[in-house]
Amino acid sequence: MEEKNTKESIFKAVEDLKKYLANYPFHPKELILDDIAAFIFKIVDKTKDYCDATSLPKQEYYNLAVVVMHYFVTYDFFKSVSIEHKNEKDVLMEVNGCISKELISISQNARTLKSNGNVGSFINLMDTCLDKAEDIDISKGVPNALDSLNASSGTIEEILSFALSIGQVGYNDDNKIITAACRTVLNSVDQLKVEINKQEHNLDMFNLMTEMYTSALCSLEAKVNVAVLNLCLRIFSNYQDLVEDLYSACVNYNSNSSKRLDDLITDFDLHMDRIFQIALFSLACSSINKRTLDLQILVLHLLFLEKELVPSFVSMTTNHAPHRRKYANIFKKYWIVQMKKLRRIVHNIIEPEAYCKIIYEALTLNAEKMWEHISAGILLDKAMIDPFLLYTKELGTMIKTSLHLLNELKDDALIKLGVIHKVLHELVMAKNCFLDKTSSFTTEEVNFKLFKRCKVLLGAVKDLWVCLKGDFKDILNDTSSEVDSNSTIDSQHQTYITDNVVPEMKNNKEHINSRVTFAVTPVSITFSKERYSRDYSFRNKTLLHKSYSKCSIDNMLHELRKSFMMPSE
């Protein structure tokens, strides 16, 4: 009874916040920030009481952590905007209404939230399907073989749905490739059913078909991984331009630019769909840990921004008041900040060698297109050079992020990364000299100089890829590489991961392994692993103050963060 009351007290605190927010226009504007902080503080306090009094599975702790951290980061956004625009009443009025709606939405979903449903889902589905496929054995009888196949093929529907959703937003031929791979899986299932239902069975043929079925599944997984890596490359290398173009189009809108604005909005919608697919697939290839929690919160905030960003932009086309532009600019800057966070989290998940391979292949394809232009005597333009600049910069950012988390990397890899940087700088200088300025060189001479540098850069990327194939192999298989107490990970982050995010029963320690790296090998899928030992309790409960009126808002939030062992911003 005590446990139920403790849990219900959480939702009672949530309901109190909802009631306050429902009447926020009638509250003194200068007190809203402090009042909301006090309500959130109470929710966290009750949550801690419940967690300390019960022994919950890690999934429920994770769900509660998502709710609590969602409140935290939403309030942080509200606070930062309120401080930056404290003397602009019109802007604050818009922000108050927007944040109130978001906090009400969080509160409405708090009771029923099952935020970890997507965590590890794709990997679990693939593992389940492959495990069931191993049980298909015609020597045990037709009914047994059919039951095993049906059990495996039942899971296939979810896998195909997952794969096709990624294919629909993929670049180049990824949609066709994934669709074909899905069709191959379905055909292999049909062939197995036909073989099982034959009067006489050829055991060797049946075993071959079973192997073809499992190979088709592994091939589909690899193709989905490649499609997501392509999405990462195209989105993260140039994620900011589209939102800036949309913002500028709304600021400079006139009756003649209506079609362009509609096209930009459509492109941005697709852009957001691709971003969500990257984030959701990253969750689906992870296990419950601190990074997953951060990613889950990012997804929730991107959903919030998706509802607010474009309307705030479009409102500038009909309302030219100065506060409308400031309000839209708030969301633009916040969206960019969230995208930087997402890029960093995903860079910590994907395998460096696989990403480098994808970039090398993309640049090779671009070099072939350049050669077609050169052969036709056409002057190369900026659009053909830009992928070399954008993709290699993205590669450098990703490798640097990986170095921050990994303890070991051979000196050769760092040297090759330095070579890429130097060649990239030379290519930028050549582009500025021959394309951005008036040049006395002929088309043939300009093409030769630019293409030569692009080929050198392509060779440098290949050298790094070959190096990473060996350098990262052992590191990615080292299950303790991301949790070494002497590693470069922030110690507060590590303590938070170890003790709080997914706590276990007291005195009952276990290791959680997770496949979190996008792989490109059809059969031998390589994923990095993490092991975290956790204690089933929220710590430092005494840090929370019971008297809200006796401590400032900043101190309250500081204590709240300490209670969840969050690193300071």
The CATH class for the domain spanning 121-230 reads mainly alpha
H helices of 171-202, in order, are 174-196
Domain extents in the chain: 1-113+539-569, 121-230, 352-477
Between CA 237 and CA 219 the distance in angstroms is: 27
**What is the amino acid identity at position 523?**
V
Phi, psi of 492 (to 5 degrees): -65, -40
Calpha distance 209→192 (Å, rounded): 6
- Contact at 8 Å (CB) between 372 and 549? no
At 170, give phi and psi (nearest 5°). Answer: -70, 165
Q: Where are the alpha helices (DSSP H) in 237-289?
A: 239-251, 258-284
Give the sign of the dihedral formed by CA 215, CA 220, CA 225, CA 229. positive
The H-assigned helical ranges of 512-551 are none
Q: Match 């966070």 to its residue by tokens.
A: 341
* Dist. CA 228–CA 224, nearest whole Å: 6
Q: Which residues contact 496 (CB under 8 A, 6 or more apart)?
A: 290, 564, 565, 566, 567
Domains 121-230 and 352-477 fall in the same CATH topology = yes
Note whether 383 and 449 are within 8 A (CB).
no
487 contacts 481 by C-beta, under 8 angstroms: yes
CA–CA gap between residue 201 and residue 434 (Å, rounded):
70
Instruction: State phi, psi for 457 to the nearest 5 degrees.
Output: -65, -40
- Domain 352-477 fold is Four Helix Bundle (Hemerythrin (Met), subunit A) (1.20.120)
Please give the model's pTM, rounded to 2 decimal places.
0.81
Measure the CA–CA gap between 522 and 228, rounded to whole angstroms. 15
Written as six digits, the tokens of 134 are 């191993």
Token pair 């500081």: residue: 558
Token code pair at residue 360: 């090398």
Residue whose structure tokens are 């192999």:
473
How many Cβ atoms sit within 10 Å of the Cβ of residue 15? 13
Largest Cα span, the chain = 86
Q: How many CB atoms lie within 10 A of CB 89?
A: 11
Distance CA 509, CA 512 (A): 10
Radius of gyration of the chain (CA): 27
- In tens digits, the chain (569 residues) has pLDDT values of 444 557 888 888 999 998 888 886 666 666 788 888 889 888 888 888 888 887 778 888 888 888 888 998 999 999 999 999 988 989 998 998 899 999 999 998 887 765 555 788 899 999 999 988 888 888 778 888 888 888 887 789 899 999 999 999 999 899 999 999 999 999 999 998 888 888 887 888 888 989 999 999 999 999 999 999 999 999 999 999 999 999 999 999 988 889 999 999 999 999 999 999 999 999 998 888 888 889 999 999 999 999 999 999 999 999 889 999 999 999 999 999 999 999 999 999 998 999 999 999 999 999 999 999 999 999 999 999 999 999 999 999 999 888 765 556 667 778 888 999 999 999 999 998 888 766 778 889 999 999 999 999 999 999 999 888 864 554 444 433 333 333 332 333 333 322 332 233 233 333 323 333 443 333 222 333 232 222 322 223 222 233 333 344 455 555 545 554 433 33
Sign of the Cα torsion 119, 120, 124, 126 reads positive
